Structure 1
């Protein structure tokens, strides 16, 4: 049997070179602290923009251009109403294969006469034995629409007893007949189309917990981070420590082991415990910090292009006022054009096809 080739020739001496990692760790730690300082400065700028510039700009804009903003809100509400009608007509066209004019008339009749529309729906089902039976959700939707239009009341503001008794009376009047299911008790308010919550026994909860155990490493990392970063245990809690603590909570909730490892290394660097971390872990922390700084710098660059940037310090000026006014008028014009298009579409449906006379 042939002998294996020797990996080391006779007379040669294998040497292991030991590299002192302390200077390398110190260098990476210095880079991490530099990025952390830049990240803190960027966070200060972002918080100033969100908490001071934007609120101050919003107050000034509301004070200076209240009329334009009110007109824009009114047009937006009319757009939503018109879009709702268009959607209902299109759904009606698909449901019964009607033309646009017939579907529009049907929708407007149902909107103006919710009770008559519901009675017609029930009658059609009774005449057609194979008709689709209304679900509880559809019955309750009809009831809520009837309350809004006939009683002028928001059904969500009714107390439980009034809602339950009114709904049962509505069902008794509207859906009585051979197709009805047994009438439920009036003592309990309907669930408003929400399926009943099934009770879970303690043994089932234990079984679920056993089938989805939290990784032991996650618990270990979380306990170590709690001892280092919990606000009750850190009298010198800074903004950076508070931010770390919130990130720990999110990572623990997601059972993100890799993220918790990075946060642990970051807490060690923040506390100058460099000996507890390997060089590779510190490099991962540096990459994570640079990624966070890049994302925040990008957000700040986008914020600088907004009209509210630095408004709390500089305040309004003539150019800004003219720019905001032009933008608001442009937006209002675009909304009005959208509303005109929807209104013309609805008017065309209401008018119906033009008839040709011989």
Structure 2
């Protein structure tokens, strides 16, 4: 019986497990970061870049945080542990792009209720459906731009999953026969095959996007950006900083040419703006807490400079950190938003209300 188990259970289980590992490696479509990058890809958006790094679940929260970093909205969270909704306030004078307006409309759609956190409620399910639609629309746009294939690769995952379930059926029969016949070696071998079959189901991706050659430069840029974000706590960060690569927020933040006192103060301020701009991408890569800690350290350094005032330059990071702590996870951020209000505190209803706010 042991021979039959090896030929009909162990060997097939090992083969499909190997194929599952190969499928996962192929699905990753990894790219190498040729150089460290300090800025997002030119002309792209956080939402589009999220799909190019397979960070779909984090895309809505990263895009919302991007709006906060750009000073277009402000996140207002209750005290940690209170389970209150996170308020979103439109900043006076901010101009929203079509993609940003679409995101807010998806978050605050017709089924939205801001009275309490949307946890396991019908409203939460409606939100998930709207965000899925936004992701699909973005995916179609990437396909039209020639960055990804129109169809996802799904047949390998489907085929291996079907084979795995058939294998589990055969292995279940062998377990019964081994127990009845008292065949301990056959039983152990069958259990090993069963473990490999179950592992195949978890390892094999159900589907993956097929990235086209045109997407390679962008994905390499994003990989380089991740390298920069991953050294947030290291002293090498300053050594990696490239004066030519660091895009300053405005001419007002650039250090004066003669290195006077104002120049000494504006250099760390410019670096803070650069790093704050990358916070949405830290969310995409799952590095938001490390990067927020880095920004807090830079803000503390700025507080000891000779700058006359910092205004709201460091408040955005604090608001985002409080909002994430209040909901427990950055992935939960979009599911925890409450009402959308304008600068006067009036609730904005739907996309029409957003246009009215900026058209007045």
TM-score, normalising length from structure 2? Answer: 0.20
With the length of structure 1 as denominator, give the TM-score of the two structures. 0.20
| Greater helix content | 1
- From the CA coordinates, give the structure whose radius of gyration is larger: 1
